[in-house]
Amino acid sequence: MTAIAWDETPEVTDRRHRAPLSRLVLAEVRWIFRRPRTLVVLALLAIFPPIIGISIVLAGPGEASGEAPLFVAAATSALSIPLGSFMMLMSLFLPLAVAMAGADAIAGEQSVGALRGWLVAPVSRGRLLAVKVFGVLAVALVAAGLVALTGLTTGLILNGMDGIITLSGTTLGFADGLGRIGLAVAWVTLQLLAVGAVALAISTTTEHPMLVVALVLGGLIVSQVLSVFDSLSWLHPFLLPEGWVAAMPQLMRDPVSLDLLGEGALRAACYVVIGLSLAYARIVTRDG
Amino acid sequence: MARDELARTVPAPATAGAGARPVVARTKGVRKVYRSTIAVDGVDLEVPEGAVVGMLGPNGSGKTTTIRMLLGLVRPTEGEVELFGQPMPESAESTLPHVGALVEGPGFHPFLSGRDNLLRFAAAEPLLPSAKITAAVTNALELVGLTAAADRRYRGYSLGMKQRLGLAAALLVPRKLVVLDEPTNGLDPAGTREVRRIIAELHARGTTVLVSSHLLSEVEATCTHVIVLSKGTVVAQGELSELLEAGNPTLEVVTPDATQAVEALRANRIPARLAPDGILVDLVTTPAPRVIETLVQAGVSVYEARRKRTGLEDLFARLTETQSDDLPTDLHLNDVDHVGVA
């Protein structure tokens, strides 16, 4: 125990003081990536593509007996493992990662009483939400980037770097392949940000992070079920996961077909705008 | 005790008028309703600059809600809140950087160490330059005696250590006002003394302190001013010494020779009367030692002598020393008008 060692106490004026936004974002990102369960989820995401790759290799000799059909070649091209991983992980695991981030961002902070620590610092509610959106975006980007990275690495180890065979039968150069992976990461990140925006909106209304995760994943599952019924086709354009499965193979075609990807991106952007508007409306009126 | 009677015994609070000390925090007719529950109803309070103001009241009396409104965490349903003369919560970005607060217990993340938790909040302090963050955190940890445990996870902290970390967060930056909501909760006697020492140091530096408590002893030990809340309304406020001196000071003497004692005192022109266990002596004109001396010289056996609580002191004691559950029936305050409002 020591005495208070403060410098001169500054006088109060009506000047507004704000901590630099970059400092807040840095603190937020540090906090997110030191949370053990975030790291566990990211680690599981990262080992998924190698597991797919190994499974294909192990299953390979049986299927590829005799002359290798094109689809086997395509399924084992360096591009197919990251894109295939995205296809599978988008159904649950990647959205789970961002739903957790969105839940912890506000509901999780509130549940341990840390949210008022920010508010009395003070960080204005609008800036606080902006920082939280950055955090969720960081998780989405890191999650998608990790899957792409380990997926591509696995694909390259298994197939070599020369020539990536597309679903259309043509062969791509390495740079072109990388470009497509980059496009996939950007597109998946946007989709995940849409999920994160919805999670943030729910997060501002509760102090139970589990409730946020349950509602977001529940909503996704319901959307996926609804998208199966043709009688509800009028509803399908409004469902976020619509096209998640169909979009990835588009990147394996030559030339890339952008219709589905563009439509999905627009849909995700709408979800981001609506989700964040609701989150903002709630966070500025909520009792801290 | 009726409201008027009480109001007369309570000196007017310091106002921002000529000659008086400036007011750091003020509420005017503040009311907060949660659904059908009235948490705070018509609270007018003033925190004079440089004072250590104790906010006293049983659990559920509206202390925390009032503090949350002062800090702009909650918008009042009605009324105005001012910090440093600026309206809250609108002026949060110009006022709150100068305010350190520990509200509703410490709020930290269990998976981070105490130091990392503090570093996180230090990053949000507008008046803390980036280059000074690490040093400010180290100083704050040292100030509350957490240096040894700084790098342990918050999860493993005892209740007292958590409370200390909350205090450290409030003291990261030089403050004009420090608001502490039940700061000694969970602290052992040594921890309680440390909190008192820190409050005294803040006071010596000229920092205004607003500290809430449900214990009169706590407030008596540290505060210069007091605000008493009960059921969401202010029942008394002003300087502690004046509030406690209000009413006639009386000495209660326990003695088997009561009649003899009264006669002896009256012979010396000291007003006294009989009481169940002995006598009551009026101390307005005579100091207590003189009374005892007179009694001893008259050969009266004095078993015990104590200063009897005045009306207001008795009120504080009843408000703060009983379990809040027992309060509603035995408190005959002025809040009959609140019964049934909810």
**Domain regions of chain A by residue span:** 21-283
Query: pLDDT per residue over B40-67, tens digit each?
Result: 888 899 999 999 999 988 888 888 999 9
| Helix then strand then coil, % of chain A, to nearest 5 | 70, 0, 30
Asked if residue B260 is part of any domain, the answer here is yes
Q: Kindly state whether residues B33 and B48 are assigned to the same domain.
A: yes
Range of the domain at B218: 3-245
> CA triplet B325, B329, B335: central angle to 5 degrees?
100
- Per-residue pLDDT band for B25 (boundaries 50, 70, 90) equals very high
Cβ separation B123–A24 shorter than 8 A: yes
Arithmetic mean of pLDDT, B195-218: 88
Asked if residue B342 is part of any domain, the answer here is no
Identify the pLDDT of residue B324.
45
Asked if residue B15 is part of any domain, the answer here is yes
Minimum distance, in Å, between the CA of residue B171 and any CA atom of chain A? 8
Asked if residue B75 is part of any domain, the answer here is yes
Asked if residue B334 is part of any domain, the answer here is no
Q: Kindly state whether residues B47 and B8 are assigned to the same domain.
A: yes
Q: Which residue has the higher pLDDT, B188 or A3?
A: B188
Which of B73, B141, B201 has the most A C-beta neighbours within 10 Å, making it the best mutation to test the interface with A?
B73
Q: Check if A122 contacts B (Cβ < 8 Å).
A: yes
Which of A9, A120, A134 has the most B C-beta neighbours within 10 Å, making it the best mutation to test the interface with B?
A120
Q: What percent of chain A clears pLDDT 70, i.e. is strictly above it? A: 90
Rg of chain B over all Cα atoms, to the nearest angstrom: 23
Q: Kindly state whether residues B10 and B37 are assigned to the same domain.
A: yes
Arithmetic mean of pLDDT, B135-164: 92
Asked if residue B333 is part of any domain, the answer here is no
Cβ separation B143–A2 shorter than 8 A: yes
Residue A104 is given by DSSP the state I
Q: Kindly state whether residues B263 and B220 are assigned to the same domain.
A: no
Cβ separation B101–A7 shorter than 8 A: no
Q: Check if A14 contacts B (Cβ < 8 Å).
A: yes
Tracing tokens 């070599």 back to the chain, one arrives at A160
- In this predicted structure, the answer to whether residue B9 has a pLDDT above a threshold of 90 is no
Give the β-pairing of B23-34 and B37-48. antiparallel
* Cβ atoms of residues A199 and A216 within 8 Å: yes
Q: Kindly state whether residues B256 and B231 are assigned to the same domain.
A: no
- In this predicted structure, the answer to whether residue B317 has a pLDDT above a threshold of 50 is yes
Q: What is the mean pLDDT of chain A?
A: 87
Domain end (from B199, B217, B245): B245
- Per-residue pLDDT band for B295 (boundaries 50, 70, 90) equals confident
Identify the pLDDT of residue A162.
61
* Cβ atoms of residues A203 and A209 within 8 Å: yes
Identify the pLDDT of residue A6.
77
- In this predicted structure, the answer to whether residue A61 has a pLDDT above a threshold of 60 is no
Q: Kindly state whether residues B88 and B183 are assigned to the same domain.
A: yes
CATH code, B23: 3.40.50.300
Q: Check if A1 contacts B (Cβ < 8 Å).
A: yes
- In this predicted structure, the answer to whether residue A73 has a pLDDT above a threshold of 60 is no
Q: Which residue has the higher pLDDT, B34 or A172?
A: B34
Q: What is the pTM for the complete model shown?
A: 0.82
Q: Kindly state whether residues B194 and B270 are assigned to the same domain.
A: no
**Distance between start and end Cα atoms, chain A:** 32
Rounded to whole angstroms, the Cα distance separating B5 from A284 reads 43
CATH code, B303: 3.30.70
Asked if residue B209 is part of any domain, the answer here is yes
Rounded to whole angstroms, the Cα distance separating A155 from A86 reads 14
Minimum distance, in Å, between the CA of residue B108 and any CA atom of chain A? 5
Identify the pLDDT of residue A33.
95
Can you tell me the ipTM of this complex? 0.85
- Domain total of chain B: 2
Arithmetic mean of pLDDT, B157-166: 90
Asked if residue B340 is part of any domain, the answer here is no
